[in-house]
Amino acid sequence: MRKITNEELGRPSAEEFAAMEKMPVTVVLDNVRSAQNVGAFFRTGDAFAVERIVLCGITATPPSRDIHKTALGAEMTVSWSYCASTVGCIAQLRAEGYAVYAV
């Protein structure tokens, strides 16, 4: 059995992905303890072409071996930032005109 390449899957390159139109969604992760769960969010964000991910509080940030292990490189293609305060992050998003929904 052989590994299928990104080209065979029709997957865009990192440069093509960066230039793609993104879904206008910002995912905010609040104090996610597991770096592998953070990696899963990056992989999902990559699959759905979300605009960005904001990591807050104690949430692990790249570069991280555990994030990379689960994200499979998506932490390098999905735009992300870090904010120490989740409350401050939400206030900033509202000030920028984003609708904020808590799940």
- At position 81, the amino acid (one-letter code) is S
Tens digits of residue pLDDT in 48-74: 999 999 999 999 999 999 999 999 889
* The model's pTM: 0.85
Tens digits of residue pLDDT in 72-101: 889 999 999 999 999 999 999 999 998 888
Domains of the chain: 22-95 (3.40.1280.10)
User: Nearest-CA neighbor of 78 among 103, 102, 36, 45?
Assistant: 45
Burial class from Cβ neighbours inside 10 Å (0-12, 13-18, 19+) for residue 53 reads buried
DSSP E strands: which ranges in 1-103? 23-30, 50-56, 80-83
Q: Coil, strand or helix: which one is 68? A: helix
Length of the chain: 103
